[in-house]
Structure 1
Amino acid sequence: MLRLSAQMCKQSFALLRLPHSTNKMPRLQLVTRKMTQQHQKVDWTTSIPTGAKDKEKITALGWFLLLIPATTFGLGVWQVKRKIWKEQLIKDLAEQLHMAPTELPDDLSHLSHMEYRLVKLRGRFLHDKEMLMGPRSLIRPDGVETQGGLFSQRDTGNGFLVVTPFQLSDRDDIVLVNRGWISRKHMDKETRAMGQSPKEVELTAVVRKGESRPQFTPDHKEGKVYLYRDLPKMCASSGAAAVFLDAVYDPKAVADNSPVGGQTRVTLRNDHMSYLVTWFSLSAATSFLWYRQIVKRIPF
């Protein structure tokens, strides 16, 4: 267009320079004819590409990439449902810990379906087969857990759980009872002789299950200290049935330096909030990238 305009201007100036005489008219007609021919040869095309509409269409690959934000959003919704389910389960277990205790069933195998249920039992402790499990921090009667760990030396927060075989009255069965928490300085049973009564007692306990060996935790060998509820080896060394009970806190039964009961921990992890935040964040980020790259076609 600019070139054509320039040519027309040049030819116009040339016309102005022509002498105004009648005998020069043929030359003027010739210049006019050339301008008309050049004007007819111009191809007036637009600057819009003919395939622009085709480029605006989302390809099959673009629709396939939409699966990424859609999938992460679905996983986030699933984690919301899992969070609601886990919170309800924890609530139900907490309610079971406050229900009225039931009698210990005659068939001990029924206890496998009664975890966190309160049961009553009567018998006597076999203190000569006592075992320790830990280290563990102390759960106080008000429910607050003290700070203690494997390398902590504070007696007020770090110690062990005393697990003692319990001979049931009027039957030959022996079960394992977690009597409660003791500090490190009372690991030796001689330092808490007042709590080693051989008399028959009646107590209330919480039904628990055994634990699998945690990752990186060494396997238990022969000894009296266990890192977790290793029921097969605990029962093999004590002759007890595969039943583990946590004694509840009883202020009347606590003598000087005796184990502190009520050490039941509801060990249910609830990390679903962090999971759902992660999935929804990924969904939002990938949705933005898909819209920017596939729909708007804005390069980075």
Structure 2
Amino acid sequence: MLRLSHQMCRQVAGSRLKAPNIPTLQLVTRKMTQQRVRMDWNTSIPSPAAKDKEKITALGWFLLLIPATTFGLGVWQVKRKIWKEQLIKDLNEQLSAAPVPLPDDLSDLAHMEYRLVKIRGRFLHDKEMRMGPRSLIRPDGVETQGGLFSQRDSGNGYLIVTPFQLADRDDIVLVNRGWVSRKQVEPETRPLGQPKSEVELTAVVRKGESRPQFTPDHKGGNVYLYRDLPRMSASTGAALVFLDAIYDAQAAKNGPIGGQTRVTMRNDHLSYLVTWFSLSAATSFLWYRQIVKRKPF
């Protein structure tokens, strides 16, 4: 009997050692399940909030107009630069082309600026006018302030504008004879340069000027600050025609120095297109960094 009881006790003890710990097993299983669910959620199912952050908003697309617009302005300035360079080239070709006779209808000269024309007649020296002050344009095209061309080339001077009575008609036109120094502004200081007989000369067709900004109005008399064609014509009885005499070495010895035509065509389009393209590149970089990459500064 005692031996049987001892064997039953050993069996009960063995069964207790082999039986698993139920609470411990449930805790481990729960932790493994939580870890597996959390890992699957983060790797396989994207967050809706993250998707919303990756989208470009309507404001972001609107800000893209800034680099697009500046790029378009740069392209426009490229076209303007090509057009202006071609226009300046055409004007220089006109200045070197063969002169043509003065048209019978003087109104045709409105479409012939910078064209060379031939005229014949005599100067009306008693109605001579001055325009300036101006610096001298030498025959080689260099504008100088003094001392390089002749002894008269000392600082600024004036352009001598004289009415010209055409020989074959009753019309009077205005001719810019050329540049003189301040010492030779008065006609009495250059008597040999005041021809009274008929002369033939070649001149460049010019148009009138509007009063430049910050330039005061004329104070009267025969001195003009800019090419005020209506007022010059009204004071002399001349037609609304203004001509620049070309350079003549013989006439320049004793009188005004011709060839004072300035081709006033500004060409700043290179600096403009560089500015617009630079702004386009800078704003494109900022838009990509802020809107696409979401990188704050």
Could you tell me the TM-score, scaled by structure 1's length? 0.85
**Structure 1: gaps (5+ residues):** 1-19, 149-153
Distance in 2 (CA, whole Å) between partners of 1:41 and 1:56 is: 29
Identical aligned residues as a percent = 74
Distance in 2 (CA, whole Å) between partners of 1:41 and 1:251 is: 105
Distance in 2 (CA, whole Å) between partners of 1:58 and 1:121 is: 71
- Aligned residue in 2 for 1:264: 261
Distance in 2 (CA, whole Å) between partners of 1:41 and 1:52 is: 23
- Aligned residue in 2 for 1:32: 25
CA contact (8 A) 1:155 1:184 kept: no
- Choose the corresponding residue for 2:143, options 126, 140, 145: 145
Aligned residues: 275
Distance in 2 (CA, whole Å) between partners of 1:33 and 1:99 is: 106
| Structure 1 counterpart of 2:265, one-letter code | L
The change in CA–CA distance for 1:216 and 1:29 in structure 2 (over 3 A counts) is: same
Give the structure with the higher percent helix. Answer: 2
- Offset, 1:187: 1.3
- More displaced stretch, 66-75 vs 25-34: 25-34
- Offset, 1:134: 0.8
Distance in 2 (CA, whole Å) between partners of 1:57 and 1:38 is: 37
- Aligned residue in 1 for 2:3: none
Deviations 1:193-251 (A, max 9, x none): 11112111111100000001111111223111111100111111111110000000011
| Structure 2 counterpart of 1:295, one-letter code | V
- Offset, 1:25: 8.0
Could you tell me the TM-score, scaled by structure 2's length? 0.86
The change in CA–CA distance for 1:155 and 1:252 in structure 2 (over 3 A counts) is: closer
- Aligned residue in 2 for 1:208: 206
- Offset, 1:109: 0.7
- Aligned residue in 2 for 1:293: 290
- Aligned residue in 2 for 1:231: 229
**Structure 2: gaps (5+ residues):** 1-12, 147-151
Q: What is the SS of the residue equivalent to 2:42?
A: coil
The change in CA–CA distance for 1:37 and 1:76 in structure 2 (over 3 A counts) is: closer
Distance in 1 (CA, whole Å) between partners of 2:166 and 2:208 is: 20
RMSD: 2.2
Q: How does 1:270-285 map to 2 (within 5 A)?
A: 270-285=267-282
Alignment pair present for 1:61 and 2:59: yes
Distance in 2 (CA, whole Å) between partners of 1:87 and 1:280 is: 20
- More displaced stretch, 55-64 vs 78-87: 55-64
